[in-house]
Structure 1
Amino acid sequence: MKALLLLAAACAALAANPLAAEPLADGGAEDESALVQLDLDNVEIKTVIKLFSDLMGKNFLLSDQVRGNVSVMSPMKIPVEGLPKILESILEVRGLAAVPVGDIIKIVPRQEAVKSPVEFETEEGLRERVPDEAFVTQLIPLQYAALEEVKGLAQALAGKNASVIAYPPGNILIVSDSASNIDRLMKIVKEVDVPGLESTITVVPLQYAAASIMAEEVLSIIQGRGAAAGRPAPARRPGRRPAQPAAPAGGDDAIRVFADERTNALIIVASPDDTERVLALVEELDRQTPESKTRVRVKRLSYSNSDDIANVLTSLTASRTGEGMPPITVTSFPAINAIVIDASPQDYDLLQRIVEDLDIPRDQVMVEVIITEVNLARSLSAEFQTQTLSTINWNPTSGQQKGWDNTQNWGGTEFDPSLRNLIINDLEKGYPISAGSGLNYGFVFSPDSDKNFFGPFGVLLSALEADTEINVLAAPQVLTSDNEEVSLEVVDNIPVLSSTLTTGSGTTGTDTIQQIDYRDVGTKIKLIPHISKDRFVRLEVDQSIEQLVGVSLADIQGPLTPATIKRKTNTVINVKDGHTVVISGMIGDSYSTQESKVPILGDIPIAGLLARFRKNSMQKINLMIFITPRIVRNPTELAMVTQKTRDRGDEFLEEAHGQPVRLLEMFMQSVKDEPVKQMPPAGESARPYGI
């Protein structure tokens, strides 16, 4: 089924490109724009050859030993003229060869292709008539080079199943291989078969150095282009064209050095004496030096983060352009804070210099934050109250008064329950009355009549002035590195009732399910310091204070639904090292007046004071935030800051054990008077990197 689908696809391709189906050997004009797309996944090789036969217009004869499956992935369309090269690669992978016999191309195992009758030629004209995938025999006559030496060279460069035979009577080399390999071999033989007295050909495989770089260095040294001081010329990047042969100036014999990058070997054509001299030079250069033991090195970092350094080096090396530049890979290994570098020795030296300039101790900043909130509250109240109790409760049996009804009153100006408690306490002596705040004076008048509709009559005069001052002081300190974000939280995690669900009914009972969340209430600070020149610090500050309203933390017994007050500051400031700055000051004022009075009577001048109650309240809130950054660039400065912080902690402990508490002004003055050791700005690297 897969073969039928493939043939259907081939027919569709041929229908779309009719010129692609024309045989190329017929001399017809080839359509340069004809493109095909190959996407073959594990298809039988016979089906693949059938597809190429239709596309190339060639006749193929398959051996019984041609079997197996192949896969060809081509995400982009390719021109039809490139199909012979693809077919050659497919056959080489399967150990097959194409042998042209007239108008038919036989596909046989490569071992049999050597013994099969194939087309041969003594000139290069054969390449014009035979495709790249064809297995052919080429006769190569030699004029100057020794036949056995060229044979050894050809055997080293030919394919795996190629045949190389020397024919001494005619000084001819007979080579059977694929047409593309023979084409490459012909070019090399042409370069080595040149006039020279007693020239020999030597193939030198290299172990450590790249053949292209070694060839250029050897020629440079021999010809004097870089050997004036006895040192090899600078190494060249791999991927450049092989070194071209040249004769040394003033020399009688030509010394030629070629690079075969496929086998990473040097081909030396020279006299025996010159060959020995070149071999000695190659032996000295092709050795394992400490810098080139391996491309992969591990670099441990002392101060920087391995991920950050790896990202920087990767960004730098990714922008490099140029043909033949070897790849560079940098990988982070956070477990030991190291980076793994895969690069050439020259590139590694460059990257190591960059890492040494980046992996340095970073400056640090000790940030001191002082948060003060002063809450001033003042109230003044004056009141004159009168009250009488009703006696309408009677005992229906005896006709006697049942008792004073303290739930009903008649007349008076009672504005709070204190006067009623005073009256009941006087009459029944059973209800305690708590002492009121401020100045209080009162009396009770009780009539003697048992059936008097007017009960006891009481009078209360009170005056109160209250002052409240709350001073909240927080002084957190935090040490962080330059350009690093740091956060500090001093919070209480309180339970908050978020929802309540009641299930069941009255007959079966009810269950109440409460959803409890926990909320952080307190002080939160987030800082990012940036140290600039002349010991200035640019601070990004994000600070918030959240407090409960109407309840203290000590009174919390269970889930709450509290109200909170939140004050938040978000800003960016520039401060000199050791200086204190106020980043915010929020002042809030509130005034309120409460008045209760008896209608008409309370409006009478002077006398109306006996019939009204008035309370005046004032509240002021002042929140200030002070920040002092201190740059720490060496262990000495760090020790000074640490000792100062320790001394300050001892002072607070002394206050907790009975010493006088310092005022805010004294605390701020001690912070301001702390010495600051001035240090010169950090030096900047001026070394060029040349990336």
Structure 2
Amino acid sequence: MFRKASRLRLDGSPRRVVLACCCALFVAASVVSAQQPPAQRITTNFKDADITQIAEAVSMATGRTFIIDPRVRAQVTMLSSTPMTPDAFYEAFLSILQVHGFIAVPSGDVIKIVPDANARTMPGTDLPDRPPSAADEIVTQVIAIKNVSAAQLVPVLRPLIPQYGHLAAHPASNVLIISDRAANVNRIARIIRRIDQAGDSDVEVVTLQNASAVEVVRIINSLYQQQQAAEGGGANPLRLAADERSNSVLVSGDPEQRLRIKTLIAHLDTPLESGGDTQVRYLRYADAEKVAALLKEQVTGIAQAAAPGGGQQAAPPQQQIDRNTTIIADPETNALVITAPPKVMKSLMSIVDKLDIRRMQVLIEAIIVEVQADKTAELGVNWAAWSEDDDTRFPAGGFISPVGGSSLVNLAQLAADPEAAAEAGIGIPNGTTLGIGRIAGTGVNFAAMLRALRGDANTNVLATPSAVTMDNQEAELKVAQEVPFITGQFTNTGAGGTLNPFQTIQREEVGTILKVTPQGGSWRT
């Protein structure tokens, strides 16, 4: 079960030979003890024995197979007065290897004994569920960090790892990878459990007076983004958010991080003596050119209000508003490019918010009608009475003149003989005519006629134009066509006395054009 990588070299002196014989006796005694039942214990004593001889004794006692690197050379003294089990003998052997700078690396069914400088490059007991608490075997363990940054723990734990060990952090998953002897790995794990405690992650609100919260957050994020990516962020990474409404910065993280960020924000939130800030504002509903004109007038008004009355004193910074403020409209993107001091910028942005609103749409419909103005209204009365008695004769009457071309005579003739009246061209015109009377040879005769007439003319619908416009914006309804008009004429005399007449013609729109400006007021439809 034991493979010897090199021959044991002994010194030629008699003393060395005697010691070698003694060691052989001790080894033989150890081997005999190892072959006893498991309940028995082994008492081992070695003095200036070659380390390969001790490996041979451990192999025979425990049944393990060792492969020894040729560089493994050492003289070992091991004295024990207490019997030990084969497993304890193996642990003691691992401790001997550690003292002399060697290490045992399990590899399948065999154990490689190599210098500890090569331990990190050789596979050992990787990722055990529970590493032995006091073993000198090389193990590799992955420890997840929950509350702190794994990258920040590396410089803290590095001095506790020997030269042949390995310690590294994986920022993406915030874990530590440790390769070392099992006992030291357990010690490192206990230290990590003490350090990996939940921190005090709170949120603080920092209100800005001069700077823009959005710009401050952008600057700090760009400054700490690479650092956080390298450190992995940890369990309580630094987080910043901007509240445009109150111009405040929300800071979240550990107390130390928050204090450092608040100090940086205080340096950034200082008034500027000159210059300003530049922002690009995209409009959704309003026209950029029109809004830019209004904002320029507003800036001019602010500058005039800030100007002193005397005009001879030095101008304060407020009077430089118009010089430090520029407003440019970009028609292609319907955007405003504004450069202004923070206070003026805040005022201008508030104005833009109120102007860039969705306006109401108004549908205008019209009917163009041709009406013939011909209206008639008539009302008239004819009446008459007379007597045909021999003794009494009297005539009486009123409104004998015709009413609408009709008279009592016509009405009487039409009633007496309709055919003869029709042949004579006597008729009743349009309208309502009522008549009553008595005509006889004798006695009293009377007649009365009432006539009423009303008439209207026809209408003609020419067009029904419509248009959609915005509230308080002029719309034009047009029903017209271009008609040529001769505006001038003249004649030139050409060669040979030929006359060349010319005319100038101008086309103009002829028709009905309506211009309407709706004012919706509080309409909501």
Q: What interval of TM-score do these two structures reach, taking the shorter chain for normalisation?
A: 0.3 to 0.5
Instruction: Tell me the TM-score normalised to structure 1 length.
Output: 0.25
Larger Rg: 2
Q: Which has the larger share of strand?
A: 1
